[in-house]
Amino acid sequence: MDPRELILSAIAAREYSYCPYSGFAVGAALLGESGKIYGGCNIESCSYSPTNCAERTALYKAVSEGERRFLALAVVGGKQRGALQETAPCGVCRQMLYEFCPPGMPVFLAVSETDYTKTTLGELLPRGFAPDMLD
């Protein structure tokens, strides 16, 4: 899979970031099994706790529209007016992604459409807690 389109979608989603407190803007793009790309940005709150990360915003958009299986994720981040820097999902996002995504799903941590690190969800969350563990 060529990740450039996914990374460009994450960069575009980052433009909508609402991050007046941290100044750290994040964009994510999640590729559904349907072929649709779901973009998300981080949305901060002055009370911090209700803040939502870009990865969960993209995931929640997708799930709320009926998508349940995913093929890849791209994440970009950095200070609002600064250059992008490699940014990985937080622990909460990794766990939420593990709910819907296979451990082998590629995750692209990008600083541009051609400069990125490819990893997997399983590498980001080894020995993750999966829904089938509750059976």
Of 33, 55, 99, 113, catalytic: 55
Query: Is 45 labelled as part of a ligand binding site?
Result: yes
Q: Is 46 annotated as a binding residue?
A: yes
Total residue length of the chain: 135
What is the strand order of the sheet 106-110 is part of?
Answer: 37-41, 24-32, 70-79, 106-110, 116-120
Give the CA angle between residues 65, 16, 83 to the nearest 5°. 125
Q: Return d(Cα 36, Cα 73) in angstroms, integer.
A: 12
Question: Tokens in use for 4?
Answer: 């450039």
47 annotated as a binding-site residue: yes
CA distance 46 to 36: 32
CB 33 within 8 A of CB 96: no
Q: Is 93 annotated as a binding residue?
A: yes
42 appears as a binding residue in the annotation: yes
- 55 among known catalytic residues: yes
Was 101 annotated as part of a binding site?
no
Residue 96: phi and psi, rounded to 5, are -65, -40
Detail the residues annotated as belonging to a binding site.
42-48, 53, 90, 93
Residues with active-site annotation: 55
Detail the residues annotated as belonging to a binding site for substrate.
42-48
Detail the residues annotated as belonging to a binding site for Zn(2+).
53, 90, 93
